Structure 1
Amino acid sequence: MHHTPPKIAIGSFTVAFLTDGLWRNDGGCMFGVVPRELWKREHPPDEQNRIRLNLTCPLIIKGRDAVLVDTGIGNRLGAVEGKIFDHGEGWLLDHLRALGMEAGDVTHLIVSHLHFDHCGGIVRRRESGVLESSFPNARIFVQKGELAIAKNPRNERLRAAYKAAGEIVAIAERQFEAIDGDTEIVPGVMAVRTGGHTADHQIAAVQDGADSFVHLADIVPTRSHMRGPWNQAYDLDALRSMEEKARYLEQASGSKCWLSFAHDDSIFAARVRKEHGRFEITDRVPVSYAAEA
């Protein structure tokens, strides 16, 4: 059932596109002020207004270093939330196994931000119901401000957004390393703070010679969000998201850099070029899990 994740080479790095599976979320939340009539063409909503999304978790490999970016939802959801978001057990560990690896082989984890659909897989629920750390040997890197908010959300909106994070951080606490701004995780791999979606949202960037790759996480969650004003209702600072998005898309269109998105259900990664003022996809790494949905 689980295909081997597709891979691209970035210089001497391999980037494998793992996914924690497909899920559904409210289309209005994903597209904010964009009218439904516009987004529904490429993202048809179900009768509950939910659209199908992916949980993309790139794995950056070189030698013994295995740097996972985000972890999807995992299997910690109860029955009610599982139904709301239409997500099963999660596929991340299956896809790791398809590469001949196991959870203990992941050496570093870059978490873009601590919303449940990015950090949920940091823990696993055992059959007994006990939660444990999924990647026991990994150093987990998150921005200092993000960690602080997760531990102590200051208002109702943040409390709702980070309600899973407190529990998750507590279980894997000894593995977390708070970083402050742009930080090299291993040589050639950076965590870069963008803000926008959350105050301390970060992305992962790989550079080796002329080759580069950036996982934009929730700055550009789907291919449709490449359009400047298409932002999520969840973005705390949509203007910042727009600025960061434009900067990375411009850079990529000039340099053949590969970009990947957190939640697109049909493509993992793309190269882009600017045509008549808008960004068009030139090359793509397609998602081949559609049949399993």
Structure 2
Amino acid sequence: MKKKIAWITDSTAYIPEDLKNNPDLYVIPIGIVFGNHVFEDGVDLTTEDLYRRIREVKEIPKSSQPPVGRFTELFEKLSTDYDCAIAIHVSDKISGTFAGCQSASQFVPFEVEVVDSKSMSYAITTLIYKGIALARQGLDSKEIADQLRLETAKSQNYIVLGCLDQFYKGGRMTGTQYLLGSLLRIKPIIRVNSEGVFELFERVRSEKKAYGRMTELLKQAFDKYHIQQLQIMHGNVRDKAEAFKQDIKKHFPSMDIVIGEISSAIAVHAGEGTLAIIWHNEPKSI
């Protein structure tokens, strides 16, 4: 007997232990390119390996979207065990992964609903959890996908980069923004906006002020929305993430806060030392 829905995402998503153990979740790895060698994020390249290589080789790698054939192979395999699949991927404006998945779905006689998360990291994780919950309520794949596309607008995120150099050379920042940040030692706060595009949100003078400003932004959102959980994602700076968590707890003692590490596919561009906060804005009950 076939299972109803398979869940697909890519390695920019944060996958907690419970999702790692979910037999219906499949993660397509993003490619990490060092010279002529392509590694698969989370398969043959860990974040520790990535940071070590960058420090030792002094080379800034690139990321590459999964080949279309990788998706078609997966769809063919899933078609024997599942009725359909829902694929939730990193923003189409950031990576070609969404387009590759959508293209592959045209070649295989297997129903795949492809959802543009318009974000990355834990924002995708939240959509996966919500999708699974909707499936348990009995919604079909199209109804779930349509609901998740609406949910993307509720995601909010702010990022303090660990390495401006990597972000700039990866094509994610203009030369002017890079020059200002480097010469003036400004710590830019960036975000993935509602259209799924990286944008410079604000410039601050120090990392400490950047973290303080992100806390203010969380407070503003908390006054308007119901926020069930905050996620702090980091690039090999667990100590900073823990300290930031404790600071936030002073303002929101009952806030559920998850700490996780960004994947290699994100760290390639954001750099070691990155710290980001992500949350989902839900309407307050009346």
TM over 0.5: no
Which protein has greater RCO, CA pairs closer than 8 Å, 6+ apart?
Answer: 2
Higher strand share goes to which structure?
Answer: 1
